[in-house]
Copies of this chain bind each other. A is one copy, B any other.
Amino acid sequence: MKIGELARESGLAPSRIRYYERQGLIGAIDRGLNGYRQYARGTRQLLEMIVVAQQAGFSLDEIRNLLPPHDQADRGRDKLLGALNRKVVDIETLQQRLSATRAGLKAVIARIEALPPGGDCFENAEDVLASMREQSKAG
């Protein structure tokens, strides 16, 4: 599979795929006699994992450390499992942060709705935000 096809299938620009390669995210790629990159079937899934992780707020640098080494297959399996499990924990952390944020926002909204118009919103939001901070420490 050449880069153009992989690009169409994954929805990523070829330049982006080459960029990820330069950044060490997808390892060394097989080359045909002409020098063209030849991708294995798994690469599309790998790219998707990268994109998913990015959407969850990970930098490419973090993702590189999260992904298994591209060479050794079996030592990679254990590292992959460890990385995936840590990633789940990271996502759970993020979820808790979002829950706290959402709860805080809802509290702020309730306060503002209960107020007579004309007051200083931020003045009244102070303790709400304080409790948000507490909550996020506890979470």
A80 touches B45 (CB 8 A): no
What 0/1 readout, one digit per residue, does chain A (11-41) give for beta carbons within 8 Å of chain B? 0000000000000000000000000000011
A52 touches B92 (CB 8 A): no
Q: Give Cα A64 to B112, complex, Å.
A: 20
Q: Which residue of B lies closest to A133 (CB)?
A: B48
What 0/1 readout, one digit per residue, does chain A (35-57) give for beta carbons within 8 Å of chain B? 00000111101101100100111
A121 touches B56 (CB 8 A): no
B88 touches A95 (CB 8 A): no
A121 touches B91 (CB 8 A): no
Shortest C-beta distance, A84 to chain B (Å), equals: 5
Q: Give Cα A75 to B51, complex, Å.
A: 40
B92 touches A102 (CB 8 A): yes
Identify A120's interface contact among B42, B48, B101, B117, CB under 8 A.
B42
Is A1 positioned at the interface, with any CB of B under 8 Å from its CB? no
Is A73 positioned at the interface, with any CB of B under 8 Å from its CB? yes
Given contacts A98-B98, A109-B85, contact A123 B92 (CB under 8 A): no
Shortest C-beta distance, A123 to chain B (Å), equals: 6
Within 8 A of B (CB), among A64-94: 73-74, 76-77, 80-81, 84-85, 87-88, 91-92, 94
